[in-house]
Amino acid sequence: MAWLAVALAHAVVLATKLANAPSLPWRQLQPLAWFTAATLLCWLWLRLSDCRGDTHLVAMALFLAGMGMAIQFRMGVFAGAGGKGVTLALPLGVGAMLVVLALARGGRYRLLPAVGWVCYLAAVAMLAAMLIFGRQYRGGVYLPGHLNPSEVVKPLLVIFLASFLSGRKADFSETQIGLPMPPARTLWLFAALWAVPVGLVLLMRDLGLLVLLNAVLTIMLYAVARKAGYLVAGGVGVVLLGMLAGWISAHARARFDVWLDPFADATGKGWQILQALSAMYAGGLWGAGIGAGTPQVVPIVASDFVYAALAEELGLIACALLLMVYGAMFLRGWRIASQAKGPFGVLLGVGLTSTLAVQTLLNVAGVTKALPMTGIPLPFISQGGSSLATSLAMIGLLVAMSEGKGGK
């Protein structure tokens, strides 16, 4: 069903392109061909390996990735200078998902606490490399070759947090006068460790990554202790860090200003969000139809603002259905976490699922102006090979965790 829905979307795009041109080059068929090959590879591998995990997660991830390919194909992304890299993003991401699934299945994911510190050091090293060698581009930091290792930092820090917190569950469950209060030694050790990646992200002035990491930390602290005080303290902390980022970074401060009043600079800094809101309004309930809208007028529409393109051409109802797919994926992820054996498995499942869920919330809320724009991509759909590969790898780890738990 996922393949049929994506194939239909690609067929509509091809028909639209053919109606506007006497012929189509064969390379126009490459996006659908790659998606078909990736889907077939997943199906064969899952069948031949007798995977008993939650394969519905794989189907939903492929559906979302396929819809992302379709909307990017419609906007001509594959025909651009980086078209080859965009085309190969899905096969590489599917390969990463299957490799992670193969390595982590059979309960082998429980060996990950042994490499928790390695993951932490690797994440810090990547952030430091981005700070030293990276270049600012449209609010993000990229290494030469337009590489963005910050996507890999997310699951690495989740593994570290799951390892650290699960080994100190009793400490983080302690309370004083009803408030969570770990022992001073544990609290200061964790604060010192967490301050390193947070400080590097602050120096990079990456508002989106800063909010995402601390929101996921807050959810994982609640999951390990089940104390509502962590949600309150974490929420306040995220807001304060966001304000600090706005004070340090002019770019982050501009995003807050645009969120408050985009009409103050309607033809400048507010142009992007206003064009996105106009595109979504033009789409209405049913959308203008694939190929009938003008999403290209929204700057960076294939990446940060891809939701606006979907809303214009597919409409509000289709976008609501798309968000329901995301919701079903997150519910399955949290169910896998709740069924995992041991605190590490619970925290790992919660962290991975929350990373994808918070990313989705930040992107959609930013595009619809419910929250300030953070530059976080929409998982599986936004243009970006590193984002797609990392998101699919996290799905592979969740499926591996679900094996033997009645995931189907």
Render pLDDT for 68-100 as a digit per residue (tens, 0 to 9): 888 888 887 665 544 555 667 888 899 999 999
Q: Among residues of the chain, what percentage have pLDDT more than 70?
A: 90
Q: Report the 10 Å Cβ neighbour count for 174.
A: 14
Do residues 142 and 148 touch, judged by C-beta distance below 8 A?
Answer: yes
Least confident of 104-113, 149-158, 286-295: 286-295
Rounded CA gap, 394 and 127, in Å?
20
Phi and psi torsions of 175, nearest 5°: -135, 155
Question: Is the model's pLDDT at 308 over the cut of 80?
Answer: yes
Token output for 193 = 């460790």
Rounded CA gap, 348 and 364, in Å?
25
Question: Is the model's pLDDT at 408 over the cut of 50?
Answer: no
CA nearest neighbour of 157 among 195, 127, 207, 119: 119
Instruction: State which amino acid sits at residue 64.
Output: L
Q: What is the pLDDT at residue 19?
A: 65
User: Among the ranges 26-40, 83-97, 362-376, 388-402, which has the highest mean pLDDT value?
Assistant: 388-402
Answer with the residue of higher pLDDT: 316 or 233. 316
Q: What is the pLDDT at residue 289?
A: 81
Question: Is the model's pLDDT at 102 over the cut of 50?
Answer: yes
> Mean pLDDT over all residues of the chain?
86
Least confident of 156-160, 252-256, 371-375: 252-256
Rounded CA gap, 29 and 339, in Å?
42
- Model confidence band, residue 62 (pLDDT cutoffs 50, 70, 90): very high
Rounded CA gap, 67 and 287, in Å?
15
Question: Is the model's pLDDT at 1 over the cut of 70?
Answer: no
Q: What is the pLDDT at residue 212?
A: 94
* Segment 181-205 mean pLDDT: 91
* Segment 117-133 mean pLDDT: 93
Question: Is the model's pLDDT at 235 over the cut of 80?
Answer: yes
Q: What is the pLDDT at residue 81?
A: 47
Q: What is the pLDDT at residue 407?
A: 38
Question: Is the model's pLDDT at 406 over the cut of 80?
Answer: no
Q: What is the pLDDT at residue 301?
A: 84
Q: Among residues of the chain, what percentage have pLDDT more than 90?
A: 43
Least confident of 78-87, 144-153, 340-349: 78-87
Least confident of 28-32, 270-274, 333-337: 28-32
Residues 6+ apart with CB under 8 A from 340: 346, 348, 349, 401, 405
Q: What is the pLDDT at residue 182?
A: 86
Least confident of 172-176, 326-330, 331-335: 172-176
Rounded CA gap, 257 and 264, in Å?
9
